[in-house]
Structure 1
């Protein structure tokens, strides 16, 4: 029998060991990385596909800056259908070293003429559909690429599009994309132009025969190549007529949105039942805008405003600033619970208040990002349980106003109504995505930086497979209409109407310290994006991880907020963790009311660049979750 004194000594030894482990630097708690940090003195280019990063490197080698590189990466990943196509949407944050300013690029399309709640309800839908011509907002990526190139780049459109044009001539398609195209063949086959582009071996009389390209087969897109050649030709004609570089690029923009390319998009879309008109394309424009930001412990974190979900991360940072996160310990019970509750509160506001700031009613942005508002909301965070029945807050008093939708706020519920309308079986168009797939849907990410000081973070998306291809343009249109709601009781700021942008999940990020770039970071993954980015940021600034450790870290994922896709469902209390979270912590979280799921790896394909002030270098990182990676020099 062990003596009591010995037992006490053993307990003290165990306690000392635990305390010592908790006090170790966070980097010692992180896994050894599967990939090395990318180290660059001159430039760094990171994106969703190795070929895309190569295109960025090619621009740098030709004397381009980070904006040229990002534009080339955007063009190549769109051509490769890397969870986006040419008819999708693009949003970016750009740091200009000559002005010291951060600017936003808003290249999100708008709902077309005729897109009203009444129209979609008449189709038996509770939300706009997941795919097809009726799911399309106006194309934004071509305009976004050309505007940011014209305003901030150095190279010509011809130079920047050259890698994408080479890909359109034909490249060996990856196994993942080939398999995904084949799995969506029945949907793609219903649209003649999508069938022609994606299913070169299609034979209606032989359904057992493979229709998609085989892995490694040369995938050719002559229609898309012709469209890109038209853009380059418009630029060349303008230059020959005496236009300067910027005006020549905008001549290509004009041809896409008001010329023969636009006419073909309209013809093909309307022929298949879509709503986009020539006026919709001609009147749409890219907006260069002011981003929003908050200061977190001396670091200025920038996001695009409420037409994205980006401010939710800023709200969460305001809430978390009131806690000593480092003292809690990385992925401890207290840390995970506190993080979850902060996201819980921030995303409830996202689900009710976020929408297009260029269309009334005006979102209460100042109140939402107020530190005083965060103090009020922080008081709601329980220490011992998960809060599953919370409502959005009321930020209006914190900007000197009165909430015009207070009655709706009081009646709001985190779980939207189930599909019970007439014809509701079609409201998701056969439910192409499972609830989990919808939650993780869409997006690639792009980061680029150079020695001159230009920095850009981009999260393009839309037009993913199964894309409706608009006629002979080769352009796959967006599916972003599904992110609207039809009932103001769900979100009075995001009800579909012609000319309005849907509130999207896409969320590039920049962080500055003492006025100079510190981080550029973004991630794929639908509604999980700002969850992952919040944890990436905290991994670096609170727990001392390097950029690759932070990108590869095993994050937690909450499903408590409403999905921005499909049926817009929420699963309060659902929490995904990995085996690196201890059995003790998992048990404690279950006791607090969480529905804990252990998965081998949470979805987290983060990409980032960190700026080493001491040595004047750049450190690139990319999660080993998917194909994302980069090149540095």
Structure 2
């Protein structure tokens, strides 16, 4: 079939990400002798510079990787926790019934920096300076600003000027809005990262000790002190329409560190898919596979009405369970074994009929009846909530977003030895909260994913991880590590990834073919982002699917929203065959993502 670009083939290494500069920097790390872990870290830091409307230094990152040396597939949890002072009572006292989608009250401990450093220390080979230099270079000497970044700043400029003057000072220097494709410099951020590197090297010690010193500088040194001071002294306007100070302190920063975890897995037609645990939405991907496992998808056209209808109806069921049962397993018991069992899937599969469901139907798990009812009461539907103040949320595509909203980036790497990394950095967008002037970056807004009601797995609590939407993927085939993949897109991430994976598995399409085909998703379940609304029965689908398919889906009862071609999804993927051939692909959508390799 026709593709917009070739699937990249090579044997030395492949890197694919949501920005060509990050992909090129990752490849440069491989060229100088580094491995997939070095490449992913370097690319991840560059993404903070070149896509600041989608990710920043204070954000978070879940990483899933396979190490040839250890023979293990593991997760790095780079999702920071809530401050000690973040209680439901504290937010209710502010007159809030939802955590704001922006501003300082929505901030949790920044997780990405420690996650990248932990993986670099334990699995990388290059020095701290080598992997940080490209990001510092682009921050200090400038990078060609993406049109979407310039538009985001333009859209927010008046609000910044009035409410977040430190952001205005950085993004509209001297009152001049940046222009698309012209160089933009963030000297303060360059200085922050340069100081971390310089201080680490001045401390002496080996490579690992220097990396740990940089971690200390961020979480127990000058970075944490600046964040603490800013949260105590600054009142920032947020989506509630009111100004609030932050709750995050230096003590909160000092107590937290990134951790390794065992991934959650599911076997599917010879493949084993690994995802992060139920502190993220990754298990919904696995639950959807469990529902589809005994359905003959291979006989359906890859973009036909049967395929669209069946996958969407399965997604609705899996994501309904996400709303009721998923949360930080350090705080709540999540019945994942039951949710992924064949018996449970068989009963749920019976709910997939020939017509579209317009009701949100979580499954019944013994012992969780009260929790299920409490969760259902929290479901909000479009029109229930008025949004005020600066933007919030994380939908990625143009037809769903304004330039006020933040989003996510992604990077996949496979090196010549077979090490694999998939990472989905997000948060700390330029529109999430005011810039901390001496650091050159804003804080994240991930706490908006909590509920301010007791008794739910995602209820707000101190030192708790929000149930993130970030969800990188790694898949084995017949017991061997084979593929890494992912996408930005908030609640849509596991939906778009699923379509690519199913087309690859059942129809034998290559990575680029699987990505280029028309994409679609449902908005049937509550959004993870402020104001947490659902649109029952809504199916968003690219026009390229064809009028005939759209008509048939409407006949089956779907509330179809047809959007422009090439406007849904930002998928990237990489794969390693048994013969050592490496493959990589990136979406043509938004004209930013690129795969490179040789």
2:331 is equivalent to residue 320 of structure 1: no
Partner of 1:531: 495
- Displacement of 1:121 in angstroms is 2.7
- Displacement of 1:440 in angstroms is 8.6
Give unmatched runs, 5+ long, in structure 1. Answer: 1-27, 203-210, 397-401
TM-score with structure 1 length normalisation?
0.87
Q: 1:103 to 1:122 in 2, by over 3 A?
A: same
- Displacement of 1:582 in angstroms is 3.9
Equivalent residue for 1:254, pick from 200, 216, 231: 216
Partner of 2:240: none
Residues paired across the two proteins, number: 577
Q: Deviations over 1:426-456 (max 9, x none)?
A: x653555698328995110100010111100
Equivalent residue for 2:425, pick from 446, 460, 471: 460
Partner of 1:483: 449
Q: Deviations over 1:58-88 (max 9, x none)?
A: 2112211000000000000112215100010
Partner of 1:370: 341
Q: Does structure 2 retain, via aligned residues, the 8 Å contact 1:391–1:410? A: no
Q: Does structure 2 retain, via aligned residues, the 8 Å contact 1:525–1:603? A: no
- Displacement of 1:33 in angstroms is 1.0
Q: Does structure 2 retain, via aligned residues, the 8 Å contact 1:415–1:570? A: yes
Partner of 2:237: none
Q: Deviations over 1:504-553 (max 9, x none)?
A: 11000000012222210000111111000000000101111111111112
Partner of 1:244: 206
The structure with the larger Rg is 1
2:25 is equivalent to residue 52 of structure 1: no
Q: 1:237 to 1:437 in 2, by over 3 A?
A: same
Q: 1:269 to 1:543 in 2, by over 3 A?
A: same
Which stretch of structure 1 is more off in the superposition, 128-137 or 428-437? 428-437
Which stretch of structure 1 is more off in the superposition, 327-336 or 33-42? 327-336
Q: Deviations over 1:146-200 (max 9, x none)?
A: 1110111001111100000001103232222122111111333323432222120
Q: 1:419 to 1:335 in 2, by over 3 A?
A: closer
User: Structure 1 stretches (4+) deviating beyond 6 angstroms?
Assistant: none
Q: Does structure 1 retain, via aligned residues, the 8 Å contact 2:408–2:424? A: yes
Counterparts of 1:403 and 1:105 in 2: how far apart (Å)? 29
Counterparts of 1:102 and 1:585 in 2: how far apart (Å)? 39
- Displacement of 1:564 in angstroms is 0.9
Equivalent residue for 1:630, pick from 588, 595, 598: 595
- Where do residues 302-451 of structure 1 align in structure 2 (5 Å cutoff)? 302-358=274-330, 360-382=331-353, 384-396=354-366, 402-403=367-368, 405-406=370-371, 408=373, 412=377, 414-415=379-380, 428-429=388-389, 436-437=400-401, 442-451=407-416
Equivalent residue for 2:264, pick from 271, 292, 314: 292
Partner of 1:571: 535
Q: Deviations over 1:560-594 (max 9, x none)?
A: 12111121111111112233334333222212211
Instruction: Report the 3-state secondary structure (helix = DSSP H, G, I; strand = E; otherwise coil) of the residue aligned with 2:435.
Output: coil
Q: Does structure 2 retain, via aligned residues, the 8 Å contact 1:440–1:526? A: no
Partner of 1:219: 184
Instruction: Report the 3-state secondary structure (helix = DSSP H, G, I; strand = E; otherwise coil) of the residue aligned with 1:437.
Output: coil
- Displacement of 1:123 in angstroms is 2.8
- Displacement of 1:347 in angstroms is 0.3
- Where do residues 84-123 of structure 1 align in structure 2 (5 Å cutoff)? 84-123=55-94
Partner of 1:23: none
2:200 is equivalent to residue 235 of structure 1: yes
Which stretch of structure 1 is more off in the superposition, 265-274 or 83-92? 265-274
Q: Deviations over 1:399-452 (max 9, x none)?
A: xxx2263562695475459657xxxx6x65355569832899511010001011
Counterparts of 2:120 and 2:437 in 1: how far apart (Å)? 27
2:246 is equivalent to residue 274 of structure 1: yes
Q: 1:418 to 1:120 in 2, by over 3 A?
A: farther
Q: Does structure 1 retain, via aligned residues, the 8 Å contact 2:315–2:495? A: yes
RMSD value, Cα: 2.1
